[in-house]
Structure 1
């Protein structure tokens, strides 16, 4: 890759064959890669490695992926890290639990390595473009993309990537109503299947952090950033 410093990826899975396969393909693409075979090791490695992306399985010994994700989200140095679940668990409740814990994306196995590498490449390209965008000041909020922080009434909050991107997207067009499908397409993209309920989960988590007065629900339609 052309970057002087390669993006860092932490792969977490209890299957040694999957770990080796993903590590090989990621290194081939030029990424700096570390691996862990259980949740507790993943947290310890992440604290030292500071990965840009964490690929996380759900079913693992010692500590499952959902609890691991919760712990990772509590580490201030990892606020910018993107957490993607890569798992064979396709049930709705597993996906909802993952997003509740702070996941950014959820991909079900099996997936071909080439397709996964394409998604990861697209993620980092999008990250690079988004960091060049300015902060938004609207509705009494200062939304700073460079630090993923939101300041409201003198209080500063740090949001996980997808929560931040959702708020940022809505704030770019105040009072415009967006349906769930439109938000899914713009925040998660068209090549990743994500439940519509995921939007509701993220909206609720944003409201819990910054307050209820900024994002309004338009019943039967969707959500809007409210500055009325």
Structure 2
């Protein structure tokens, strides 16, 4: 059982996606505009956000704009419902998993359970690990094959955020907001500079853990 938020463009369309989720005994919130999103978030932070990205429904730009309004929504795992003709490749660069519509409820249940389990595992405890890299979120220490890295606080926070969302493409705007805050007025180059410094400290063997997605941003690859 999980708290899931379904985000789309219209109440009826969102409800059509939310109904099978509620039937799986999940707590399901519904949002299709700023007001309904505020109400849904007020009822609890979601573990998972399901985006209705079928043809004619919410666009990638609209989804990003709505989600990035709330930190607790941005932190959630992301799942998309797409159609084969609705450019799923574009949509899935922003999500952790997806399913093609129309779908079998049994397949939806399996995919959501797998994503929730993976997300919960990543967030359990205070260690994030990948290919010899260990990030201790409690002591704020990072080691690579036992070698301690001398990271600044912002470098640590940026690396921690990326590693916590392994496989997800993060835009420069989203990273700037999450690590530096919405009140920060510096340019997007700030993110690029910090990524370059982190890669240099990771070393040639491990710099591949942070990949550049040209024209979009960065992703962590475990």
TM superposition score normalised by structure 1: 0.55
Instruction: Give 2:63's match in structure 1, choosing from 63, 68, 71.
Output: 68
**Equivalent residue for 1:157?**
157
**What aligned pairs does 1:21-60 form with structure 2 within 5 A after superposition?**
21-36=16-31, 38-41=32-35, 43-48=37-42, 49-58=44-53
Structure 2: how far apart are the matches of 1:160 and 1:109? 34
**Which consecutive residues of structure 1, in runs of 5 or more, have no partner in the other structure?**
1-5, 167-186, 188-198
Structure 2: how far apart are the matches of 1:131 and 1:69? 22
Structure 2: how far apart are the matches of 1:44 and 1:159? 29
Q: CA deviation at 1:77?
A: 2.7
User: Are the counterparts in 2 of residues 39 and 68 from structure 1 also a CA contact under 8 Å?
Assistant: no
* Cα distance change of structure 1 residues 103 and 209 upon mapping to structure 2, 3 Å threshold: farther
**Equivalent residue for 2:96?**
104
1:138-161 deviations in whole A, cap 9, x for unaligned? 9xx973568xxx994122536797
**What aligned pairs does 1:70-219 form with structure 2 within 5 A after superposition?**
70-88=65-83, 90=85, 92=87, 95-96=89-90, 99=93, 102-136=94-128, 143-144=135-136, 152-155=151-154, 156-157=156-157, 164-166=164-166, 187=167, 208=192, 210-212=194-196, 213-214=199-200
1:17-66 deviations in whole A, cap 9, x for unaligned? 65444333222222101223x343454244324211111123567x7453
Structure 1: how far apart are the matches of 2:27 and 2:137? 24
The aligned length equals 176
* Cα distance change of structure 1 residues 127 and 64 upon mapping to structure 2, 3 Å threshold: closer
1:11 and 2:23 equivalent?
Answer: no
Structure 2: how far apart are the matches of 1:76 and 1:68? 14
**Which consecutive residues of structure 2, in runs of 5 or more, have no partner in the other structure?**
143-149, 176-190, 211-222
* Cα distance change of structure 1 residues 23 and 133 upon mapping to structure 2, 3 Å threshold: same
Structure 2: how far apart are the matches of 1:18 and 1:130? 31
Give RMSD over aligned pairs. 4.4
Q: CA deviation at 1:209?
A: 8.1
User: Are the counterparts in 2 of residues 130 and 145 from structure 1 also a CA contact under 8 Å?
Assistant: no
User: Are the counterparts in 2 of residues 87 and 109 from structure 1 also a CA contact under 8 Å?
Assistant: yes
SS at match of 1:50: coil
